[in-house]
């Protein structure tokens, strides 16, 4: 029993002497690790966490119509070193650190000495650093150069060299079509073609295992792994933008908004037959000057003013209510609609008692247009017969002016057209006459341009578009062809009359100062009041918006164009003075630079030449003369059987008369070239002296003089 107790005592002693301290120590360490040092260990554990991270795909290019780059991604690299890479051997580090430090100090960061860079890298290795920045945003060529440095050339695992690829969007033409091209940025709404075609341009991201070396700063180090999935580059898109026309449009718009001190301006050029947009420019005022801050052509719906009058006039013509030569009494330039007074902005209706419907449109008479629309669509006695204002609205919808065009840019504003007699739309007795001249409704410049483009296109309404192709690796994946939205927005007769009205505006109307002697164009001026308020003391106007929309050449329309300049403060505010000259400058420069706008000479009708314009008294071999005249497509009447002949003009024709060369007498060589004259004279034994150049215009010996070996002087000219 004593022996048993002794054994127990010894066991208890060993327990308290050995096991208990160990248990206490383990308990202490558990508390220390779990509670005291817990956060630091958890951060360390998280920092060594490996996960598959996305790799950015190379973004596709945006091309202009001719293949010029409008936007492209330029790759660059951020370079790092892992001085504690798992594959790096101590002997390699010690062997190459001197030469690596010299290369880095010499070619990468001259602010360090080679010795200083060496100490820096050794310190980072001893501290356990894993992701040491070397240089950021280096080109591919520079990256290739640096990765050949000693130690780095052993690769990522053994040499610790890490290159993080990134890309930066560049626009070779700078600010050209900036808002139309657009952008995709983190935290911002996608804009323009970049935003609309983001899925196409963006490609597909890849994945690569990465080691988190700094959770707090979200720094991840790529790990070489066969499981990495390479990203797939985005597709390219080819636009309808013409770089030259875009440049012409932007320059003309810039000069105008600056000269007139406007708030903003927009201009757009569209191909009539297809609806392809060739240029689209937007400029807005900022503190630093002018910038393409917003795409007003697509996203800003405004009251158009007088450019809307074409829609009103076409509605009247389509319903057969008026003829262009009908007379309209113009109320001396002022008319009352209920409590509101409508006045003309021009002196036209104040100088004459009445005018034709054509003159009303050409001189942009508010009174004339509003009076006609109110008479046929607004009078109570007409409501049962033609449904009144509803009939007018139905015509506007027939012209598609109530619908967006669906262009490939996010943010197109919807048109706002009131429904007839709608209380929700605040329809009143003055709504219809004011709508007829472009107020109490809103459309974007693009939507209005598309309407005018349809008129230029013989009534066919096209869908405006900016992208013609999607390309992958140089081959066409998808092609966007011109799309017809409506075969005709009006009858053929109405379209012809509308074209005639627009041509008259330039020939005789508000835009007559803009017409060109080289080509004809058609269009409509517009001057709309903006920021206006009706008060007890009358209407207060906060500014004006000048516009011009039309097409050129008028005889065979190729391009339609709209210019809108908002709130010009200097040098006028009427559409004919502010926006019209911009249209004319764009049209002029297009006309002079695009061969398709010029009729080929061989297709033009040949003019009838007057006698003094025809070649006269030229002489030579009959065969040569006939061949030359045939090549020039000049009609002639040969009267010489052969040999030498002379051209004589007769009225508007040419005839060839014989030119005899007697064998024993001095021949008449006037009109001959020098070669033929020498041949004729020297064969007859005459000595020839020559002065001048060209054909023979005078000879010293009279024709018919007997030949006796004389000297003959020839005067050429």
What is the tens place of the pLDDT at every residue in 57-93?
A: 788 899 999 888 898 888 888 898 888 887 888 998 9
Please compute the mean of the pLDDT values over residues 594-608 and round it to a whole number: 65
The helix/strand/coil state of 309 is helix
Residue 612: which pLDDT band, with cuts at 50, 70 and 90?
Answer: very low
| CB-based contacts of 41-46 (< 8 A; 24+ apart in sequence) | 43/215, 43/216, 46/212, 46/215
Inform me whether the pLDDT recorded for 432 exceeds 90.
yes
673, with CB counted inside 10 A (0-12, 13-18, 19+), is: middle
Q: Which residue has the tokens 């966007």?
A: 480
Counting every residue, how long is the chain? Answer: 717
Q: What's residue 434's pLDDT?
A: 95
Rounded to whole angstroms, the Cα distance separating 212 from 222 reads 9
Other beta carbons within 10 angstroms of residue 647's beta carbon come to 22
Q: Comparing C-alpha atoms, which of 146, 284, 127 is closest to residue 213?
A: 127
* Residue 306: closest CA among 242, 365, 239, 240: 365
Going 549 to 553 to 557 to 560, the CA torsion angle's sign is negative
Q: Which of 439-443, 598-602, 632-636 has the lowest mean pLDDT?
A: 598-602
pLDDT more than 90, % of the chain: 44
pLDDT higher than threshold 80 for residue 642: no
Structure tokens that stand for 649 in this block: 């003009």
Task: For residues 260 and 245, give the distance between their C-alpha atoms in angstroms, rounded to a whole number.
Answer: 23
- How far apart are the C-alpha atoms of 523 and 502, rounded to whole Å? 5
DSSP 156-215: HHHH-EEEEEEEEEE-TTTTTTHHHH-B--TTS--BHHHHHTHHHHH-B-EEEEEEEEET
Q: Is the pLDDT of residue 431 over 80?
A: yes
Q: Is 213 left (phi over 0), alpha (psi -120 to 50) or beta?
A: alpha
Give dist(CA 287, CA 295) in Å, integer.
18
- Which of these ranges, 9-23, 294-308, 339-353, has the smallest mean pLDDT? 9-23
CATH class of the domain whose range is 247-597: alpha beta
When mean pLDDT is compared across 227-231, 268-272, 595-599, the lowest value belongs to 227-231
What pLDDT is attached to residue 47? 45
Residue 525's Cβ-side half-sphere holds a number of Cα atoms within 13 Å equal to 33
26-30, 179-183, 212-216, 345-349: least confident range: 345-349
In this structure, the dihedral spanned by the alpha carbons of residues 646, 650, 652 and 653, taken in order and rounded to 10 degrees, is -40
Q: Give 138's strand partners.
A: 77
611 confidence band (pLDDT: 50, 70, 90): very low
pLDDT at res. 415: 97
* SS3 call for 49: coil
pLDDT of 178 strictly over 90: no
- Structure confidence by residue, pLDDT tens digits, 339-382: 888 888 765 545 567 889 999 999 999 999 999 999 999 865 55
For the chain, domain boundaries: 2-36, 52-236, 247-597, 605-659, 662-717
Write down the CATH superfamily of domain 52-236.
Answer: Penicillin-binding protein 2a (Domain 2) (3.90.1310.10)
Torsion angle of C-alpha atoms 614, 620, 624, 627, degrees rounded to 10: 20
Top pLDDT among 37 and 573 is at: 573
- Helix (H), strand (E) at residue 82: none
Residue 218 has pLDDT above 80, yes or no: no
Query: Which of the following CATH numbers is that of domain 662-717: 3.40.50.1580, 3.30.10.20, 3.40.1370.10, 3.30.1950.10?
Result: 3.30.10.20
Say if residues 673 and 695 touch (Cβ distance below 8 Å). Answer: yes
Cα maximum dimension of the chain: 179
Residue of 605, 582, 594 whose CA lies nearest to 553: 594
CB 286 within 8 A of CB 598: no
Distance of CA 644 to the CA centre of its chain: 62
For the question of whether the overall pTM of this predicted structure is more than 0.85, the answer is no
* Rounded Cα–Cα distance for residues 34 and 668 (Å): 127
Q: Three-state DSSP class for 398? A: helix
Instruction: Check residue 573 and give its pLDDT.
Output: 92
- Tokens 């004279």, residue located: 681
Q: Which helix (H) or strand (E) is 624 found in, with range?
A: helix 622-631
Q: Is the pLDDT of residue 215 over 80?
A: no
Backbone dihedral angles phi then psi of residue 714, each to the nearest 5 degrees: -115, 130
Supply the mean pLDDT for the chain: 84
Residue 698, number of CB atoms within 10 A of its CB: 12
Region 189-202: mean pLDDT is 88
Query: Does the pLDDT at position 613 exceed 50?
Result: no
Beta strands, E only, 536-616: 538-540, 543-552, 559-566
**pLDDT (average), residues 528-555:** 84
- The residue written with tokens 């010894």 in the block is 10
pLDDT tens track for 446-469: 999 999 999 999 999 999 999 999
Separation CA 163–CA 181 (nearest Å): 30
Residue bearing the bigger pLDDT, 449 or 94: 449
Q: Would you state the structure tokens that stand for residue 236, as one six-digit string?
A: 């390219």
The token pair that represents 530 in the structure block: 């903006």
From the centroid of its chain, how far is CA 258? 21
Average pLDDT, integer, range 324-347: 85
More confident residue, 279 or 342: 279
Q: What is residue 288's three-state secondary structure? A: coil
pLDDT of 466-508, one tens digit each?
999 999 887 888 999 999 999 999 999 999 999 999 999 999 9
């Amino acid at each position: 029993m004593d022996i048993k107790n002794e054994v127990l005592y010894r066991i208890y002693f060993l327990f308290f002497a050995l096991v208990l301290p160990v248990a206490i120590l383990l308990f202490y360490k558990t508390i220390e690790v779990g509670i005291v040092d817990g956060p630091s260990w958890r951060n360390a554990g998280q920092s060594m966490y490996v996960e598959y991270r996305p790799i950015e795909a190379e973004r596709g290019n945006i091309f202009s119509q001719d293949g010029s780059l409008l936007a492209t991604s330029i790759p660059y690299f951020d370079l790092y070193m892992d001085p504690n890479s798992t594959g790096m051997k101590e002997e390699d580090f010690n062997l190459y650190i001197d030469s690596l430090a010299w290369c880095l100090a010499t070619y990468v960061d001259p602010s360090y000495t080679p010795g200083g860079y060496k100490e820096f890298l050794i310190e980072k290795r001893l501290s356990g650093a894993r992701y040491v920045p070397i240089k950021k945003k280096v080109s591919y060529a520079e990256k290739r150069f640096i990765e050949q440095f000693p130690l780095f050339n052993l690769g990522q695992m053994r040499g610790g060299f890490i290159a993080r690829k990134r890309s930066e969007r560049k626009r070779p033409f700078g600010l050209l079509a900036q808002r139309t091209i657009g952008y995709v940025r983190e935290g911002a709404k996608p804009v323009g073609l970049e935003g609309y075609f983001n899925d196409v341009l963006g490609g597909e991201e890849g994945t690569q295992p990465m080691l988190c070396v700094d959770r707090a700063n979200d720094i991840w180090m790529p790990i070489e792994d066969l499981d990495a999935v390479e990203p797939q580059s985005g597709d390219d898109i080819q636009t309808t933008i013409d770089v030259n026309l875009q440049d012409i449009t932007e320059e003309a718009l810039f000069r105008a908004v600056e000269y007139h001190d406007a708030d903003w301006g927009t201009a757009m050029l569209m191909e009539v037959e297809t609806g392809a947009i060739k240029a689209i420019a937007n400029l807005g005022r900022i503190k630093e000057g002018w910038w393409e801050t917003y795409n007003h052509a697509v996203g800003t719906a405004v009251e158009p003013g007088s450019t809307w009058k074409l829609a009103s006039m076409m509605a009247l013509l389509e319903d057969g209510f008026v003829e262009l030569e009908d007379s309209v009494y113009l109320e001396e330039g002022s008319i009352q609609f209920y409590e509101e007074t409508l006045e003309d902005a021009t002196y036209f209706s104040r100088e004459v008692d009445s005018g034709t419907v054509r003159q009303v449109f050409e001189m942009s008479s508010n009174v004339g247009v509003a009076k006609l629309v109110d008479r046929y669509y607004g009078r109570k006695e007409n409501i049962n017969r033609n449904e009144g204002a509803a009939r007018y609205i139905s015509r506007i919808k027939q012209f598609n002016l109530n619908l967006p065009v669906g262009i490939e840019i996010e943010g197109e504003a919807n048109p706002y057209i009131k429904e007839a007699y709608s209380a929700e739309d605040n329809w009143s007795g003055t709504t219809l006459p004011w709508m007829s001249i472009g107020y109490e409704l809103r459309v974007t410049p693009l939507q209005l341009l598309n309407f005018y483009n349809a008129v230029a296109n013989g009534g066919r309404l096209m869908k405006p578009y900016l992208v013609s192709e999607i390309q992958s690796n140089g081959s066409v994946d998808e092609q966007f062809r011109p799309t017809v939205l409506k075969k005709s927005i009006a009858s053929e007769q109405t379209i012809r009359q509308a074209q005639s009205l627009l041509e008259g505006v330039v020939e005789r109307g508000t835009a007559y100062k803009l017409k060109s002697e080289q080509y004809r164009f058609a269009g409509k001026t517009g001057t709309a009041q903006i920021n206006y308020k009706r008060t007890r003391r009358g209407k207060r106007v906060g500014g004006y918006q000048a516009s011009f929309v039309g097409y050129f050449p008028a005889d065979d329309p190729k391009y339609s164009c709209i210019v809108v300049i908002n709130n010009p403060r200097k040098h006028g505010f009427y559409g004919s003075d502010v926006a019209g000259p911009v249209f004319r400058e764009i049209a002029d420069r297009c006309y002079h630079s695009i061969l398709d706008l010029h009729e080929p000479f061989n297709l033009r009708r040949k003019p009838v030449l007057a006698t003094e314009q025809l070649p006269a008294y030229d002489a030579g071999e009959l065969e040569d003369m006939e061949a030359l005249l045939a090549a020039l497509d000049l009609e002639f009447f040969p009267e010489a059987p052969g040999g030498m002949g002379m051209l004589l003009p007769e009225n508007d024709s040419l005839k060839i008369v014989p030119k005899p060369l007697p064998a024993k007498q001095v021949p008449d060589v006037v009109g001959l070239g020098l070669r033929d004259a020498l041949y004729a004279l020297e064969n007859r034994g005459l000595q020839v002296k020559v002065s001048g150049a060209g054909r023979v215009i005078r000879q010293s010996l009279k024709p018919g003089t007997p030949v006796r070996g004389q000297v003959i002087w020839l005067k050429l000219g």
